[in-house]
Amino acid sequence: MAAEYGLSAEAFVMSGKINGAATAKGEKHNASFAKHLAAMGEPHEAYDAAQMREITGTDYYQSGLFTPGTAMIQPALWIRGIAEGLCKDGVLIHENSPVTNLKWTGDWIATTPDGQVTAPKVILAVNGHLNSFGYAKSRLMHVFTYASMTRALSPQEIANLGGHAIWGLTPADPVGTTVRRISGIGGDRLIIRNRFTFDPNMEVNEGRVVKVGQDHDRSFMGRFPNLGDMAMEYRWGGRLCLSRNNVQVIGELEPGLFSACCQNGLGTAKGTLAGGLAADLALGRSSPALSRALSADAPKRLPPEPISRLGANLYLRWQEGRASGEL
């Protein structure tokens, strides 16, 4: 897609990804991951503390595991670029047109505040909002994770930081801290992402974002003390949709209504796959991948409220506590 629509390297670059380990436990996670990669024939390379410092500019990490077969995506440039390319191919995209009602009257009618669209077949590619249309009730977990982005670094701060201009680091422990260094349209910046909360109503307030931001500031200072008390220009939370048994919802929900939902935290990869499989199903095309998706179990039912909310958040706090140094 990036090649077909002529996207820039800032939108999509095969820069690879590092799993950073800050603790002995993190190093064990990476060692296990490396065994899986070797068994799959996936290229990977172990980095020591000196190599991690040379790339990131910080001595916070004891080691890392580099996988070259992954990309760094700038989400806004990526989505806008793909949208523009699709429009040139004849696709109509209606932004700011939330579907407030969807009903079957011989065809499917999707109603929006300013009009409606009628079609014989509809694909719901709305991730967790599948619940909002009345499907997979009590089977999807709505989790938020949070991020903070610095203001653009000054030339002196860039010199103080050192390291490479572009890199992406995910935590060896899955509930640890993701860090990105970006350089492009908005200048040189660092991004910190950590913390998870379970929110079945799919909304969080500004106070939560501010409170989590304090954790981000501590994580940032622990990694980049040479940058001092760095101001964060942006803070936000974003939704993930998970299932207890890590399955997606791909299939025909009702005649002519198809689902490509529940990405389990891997939206770009699994969301693209699910959308393609749902399109194949709607067009009557078959494939081994579609057969596997259709034969998968349904998402497991969640415990009733408030047990699910309390239990999930306690579990997340416990996992974050165990990850301590990786946060």
Tens-digit pLDDT profile for residues 93-151: 999 999 999 999 999 999 999 999 999 999 999 999 999 999 999 999 999 999 999 99
Contact criterion met (CB below 8 Å) for 324 and 175: no
Tens-digit pLDDT profile for residues 125-141: 999 999 999 999 999 99
- Sketch out the chain's domains with CATH numbers: 17-70+142-242+319-326 (3.30.9.10)
Q: Is 222 buried (19+), middle (13-18) or exposed (0-12) by CB count in 10 A?
A: middle
Tens-digit pLDDT profile for residues 157-209: 999 999 999 999 999 998 899 999 999 999 999 999 999 999 999 999 999 99
**pLDDT value of residue 174:** 85
CA–CA distance from 195 to each of 121, 128, 201, 227 (Å)? 38, 19, 18, 23
User: What's the mean pLDDT in 34-39?
Assistant: 97
Tens-digit pLDDT profile for residues 208-247: 999 999 999 999 999 999 998 898 999 999 999 999 999 9
Q: Is the pLDDT of residue 287 over 90?
A: yes
- With a CB cutoff of 8 Å and minimum separation 6, the contacts of 162 are 57
Q: If you compute the radius of gyration of the chain from its CA atoms, what whole number of angstroms results?
A: 21
CA–CA distance from 256 to each of 63, 107, 246, 253, 283 (Å)? 51, 8, 26, 8, 10
**pLDDT value of residue 270:** 94
| pLDDT band (50, 70, 90) for residue 323 | confident
pTM (predicted TM-score): 0.91
- Say what percent of the chain tops pLDDT 70: 100
Contact criterion met (CB below 8 Å) for 145 and 238: yes
CA–CA distance from 180 to each of 168, 206, 285 (Å)? 5, 23, 39
**pLDDT value of residue 306:** 87
**pLDDT value of residue 35:** 97
Contact criterion met (CB below 8 Å) for 40 and 73: no
